[in-house]
Amino acid sequence: MNIAIVGYGKMGHEIENIAEAKGINVVSIIDPTHENATHKEINDESMNNVDICVDFTHPDSAVENIKKISSLGKNIVVGTTGWYDNMGAVKKIAEEAGIGLIWSGNFSIGVNIFFKIIKNTSKIMNKFDDYDVFVHEFHHNQKADSPSGTAVMIGNILLENIDRKDGIITEELKRKIEPNELHVSSTRSGSIPGTHIVGFDSVADTIELKHTARGRQGFASGALVAAEWIKGKKGFFNIEDMMKNIIGSD
């Protein structure tokens, strides 16, 4: 498999390292500012002999990157977060171009196992009204979006399975939270790769589910699993589609 890495920041470097270890050919590294990138633009030359593009860039450039890559007929793994307000438009772009696209707020296989655990636990907790629920995440101080895409995905899993919650609040609260609201909060500091906590709290006790990333390796490795999975496919997919295919439906 030949891949192009779009965005040569910390994640781009990690993907390059793991790709080499897995025997995956990195034929193009595209970044407009990095001096060690092979190309500065997404075009015919930088996409030559590329099977899959892996995009870890910035929310402001993600949609435009997807447009350019789709127009050149290449399948895409999108690990960039913060562009989800344009989800409908991106789905249309991929479908009209006839390419395969898989996206996720977090490609870590461990995190996606964590999602399954949250889903199953939330179905149980739906039957126990004494427990309130919250989500909190920690990330490094260079992260461009808040809350994380992973935290939003966790919040949506909880909303789907806990009837007493029907809305996510991500901003600072200067009022009493309503019983139907799920607070998804964030901390940005230091070099934290990513920690996500789901808490179920009652008068009697607290139950917590927690995932802690040790580094970027899990995200990069999972993105390459997704690249292998999306190769040859057409359509608009998310990580849950891939996980169902790997481990079976719930």
pLDDT in tens, 11-34: 999 999 999 999 999 999 999 999
Number of structural domains the chain divides into: 2
Q: What is the pLDDT of residues 141-167, one digit of tens each?
A: 999 889 998 899 899 999 999 999 999
Q: What is the pLDDT of residue 201?
A: 98
Say yes or no: 49 and 81 in one domain.
Answer: yes
CA distance 64 to 217: 27
Say yes or no: 24 and 79 in one domain.
Answer: yes
The pLDDT of 219-236, averaged and rounded, is 96
Say yes or no: 57 and 74 in one domain.
Answer: yes
* Catalytic annotation, pick one of 39, 67, 143, 183: 143
Q: What is the pLDDT of residues 180-189, one digit of tens each?
A: 999 999 999 9
Concerning whether 139 is annotated as a catalytic residue, the answer is yes
At residue 249 the predicted structure's pLDDT band, cuts being 50, 70 and 90, is low
The pLDDT of 63-89, averaged and rounded, is 95
For residue 227, give its domain range: 2-107+216-247
Concerning whether 143 is annotated as a catalytic residue, the answer is yes
**104 pLDDT more than 70:** yes
Phi and psi at residue 85, in whole multiples of 5°? -65, -20
Return contacts of 160-166, CB within 8 angstroms, 24+ apart: 160/119, 160/122, 161/119, 161/122, 161/123, 161/126, 162/122, 162/125, 162/126, 162/133, 163/126, 164/126, 164/129, 165/133
Say yes or no: 208 and 138 in one domain.
Answer: yes
CA distance 32 to 62: 13
More confident residue, 81 or 40: 40
Q: 113: domain CATH number?
A: 3.30.360.10
Say yes or no: 118 and 201 in one domain.
Answer: yes
Say yes or no: 137 and 44 in one domain.
Answer: no
Say yes or no: 97 and 118 in one domain.
Answer: no
144 near 58, Cβ under 8 Å?
Answer: yes
Say yes or no: 173 and 128 in one domain.
Answer: yes
Say yes or no: 89 and 135 in one domain.
Answer: no
Q: What is the pLDDT of residue 246?
A: 84
Q: 30: domain CATH number?
A: 3.40.50.720
Q: What is the pLDDT of residue 241?
A: 94
Say yes or no: 87 and 175 in one domain.
Answer: no
Supply the mean pLDDT for the chain.
95
**250 pLDDT more than 80:** no
- β-sheet with 235-238: strand ranges across: 25-30, 2-6, 52-55, 75-78, 100-103, 235-238
For 188, counting Cβ atoms within 10 Å of its Cβ (0-12 exposed, 13-18 middle, 19+ buried), the class is: middle
Say yes or no: 75 and 120 in one domain.
Answer: no
Q: What is the pLDDT of residue 163?
A: 98
* Catalytic annotation, pick one of 74, 136, 139, 196: 139
Q: What is the pLDDT of residues 26-59, one digit of tens each?
A: 999 999 999 999 999 999 999 999 999 999 999 9
% of the chain beyond a pLDDT of 90: 88
Q: Which of 96-100, 102-106, 220-224, 228-232 has the least mean pLDDT?
A: 102-106
Its pTM surpasses 0.75: yes
Say yes or no: 126 and 150 in one domain.
Answer: yes
